Structure 1
Amino acid sequence: MTLHADLFFSFRSPYSYLAIGRYRAMAEEWGIDIALRPVYPLAIREPDFFERNHPNWLRYTFTDMMRVAQYHGIAFGPPRPDPIVQNVVTRQISEDQPYIYRLTRIGQAAARRGKGLGFAHEAAKLIWGGAENWHEGDHLAGAAERAGLDLAELDAEALNDAEALDAEIHANQAALEAGGHWGVPTLVFESEPFFGQDRIEMALWRMQQKGLQKRG
């Protein structure tokens, strides 16, 4: 028996990156089908979020994400470039966003093919794993290939079917909120949300209560 869950994920979220590889490993080891459901980050959904946050929020977040990466032995480095174009001093979000729309749409295109989890993990390793200029050359093409996908095909779909993909991405956000949360990463299993990279073991525990078994 294979169980099913949805993983709500953002390519700009460092905690999504710190969770995605562990969820991918879970899906490979256990009889759980985890469907990736990409959403646009807060910077797109609520552009003033960073401007109205507590001054200590950013410093603590950077400290914590580095600590989590070290604890789990996950390669980590600030994204170069950041998937969101933002003024680091004023925290203002630029109206021109050349990266995040492409990433999220091709992530949804990968999810349409049932390979979203693998693509998100491979792409996130480029963005958050310390690589430089992840958006150039054949970096993303390699990530897509490692997930069993073709980047040119995904990019063409992201361009030609952008409106439908965006509708699916917005539906993902609505499903996340209907599932009981608003942030990422959140795994929703049988209508129960597990928010954060520190809830993975608890999600596994709940699934085991529901009969989850290791793959044969």
Structure 2
Amino acid sequence: MFRKAIRFIFKCLLGLVFISIGLVLVFKWVPVPVTPLMVIRAVEQKQAGKEVVWEHDWVSIGKISKNLQLAVVCSEDQKFVEHKGFDVEAIEKVIRESSNGGRMRGASTISQQTAKNVFLWPERSWFRKGLEAYFTFLIEMFWSKERILEVYLNSIEMGKGIYGAEAASQFWFKKQASGLSQYEAAAIAAILPNPQLMKANPASVYVQSRKEWIVRQMNYYGPFTLPK
């Protein structure tokens, strides 16, 4: 019985591995229609008796302003083009700061955030973080950096019920994502840490200061190109 149980568990795990790899390969080419967070937010709104807001319009990365591409990289992960999914230096810094009594903060790369947004749920646990690392490894193996950023910009929450660059551009600035200016792109990137509470337009004093910092980083960054 024990051996049968072990074989059964092994087969289940092997099946999950094949399913996960299959999903990653499918989304290498197919637009991501929905994410777990989108469903969770809709359920939360429904349970609170509020109108369900769910705006999500997938567009190719060629239809997303280079300003927004660079703004999110400068805001969230300036080593995105260089690393293999994990910013080891940032992780080590967080560990040092927390061990010295500092406030625990995140060190997630754009790749990690993409893995979490598309395949997982928003929970702080070691189990979830372990799965996040696994899916991050997979997308870095099978997807290009351009594809990772394309999925990220089409899936991330950018306002209450607003998901992806096109929906956010229409909601905050009444224009297509392809036409975002540097400051408009920086405004959207500035609210990513807490899109449920922050507004890209009109910007609060805090968001305005973040926006100006992001614009400075964009100017310092130099030419921005993504490996195909």
Question: Could you state the TM-score of these two structures normalised by the residue count of structure 2?
Answer: 0.28
Q: Report the structure number with the largest CA radius of gyration.
A: 2
Greater RCO (Cα-Cα under 8 Å, separation 6 or more): 1
Q: Which protein is richer in strand relative to its size? A: 1
Q: Which protein is richer in helix relative to its size? A: 2
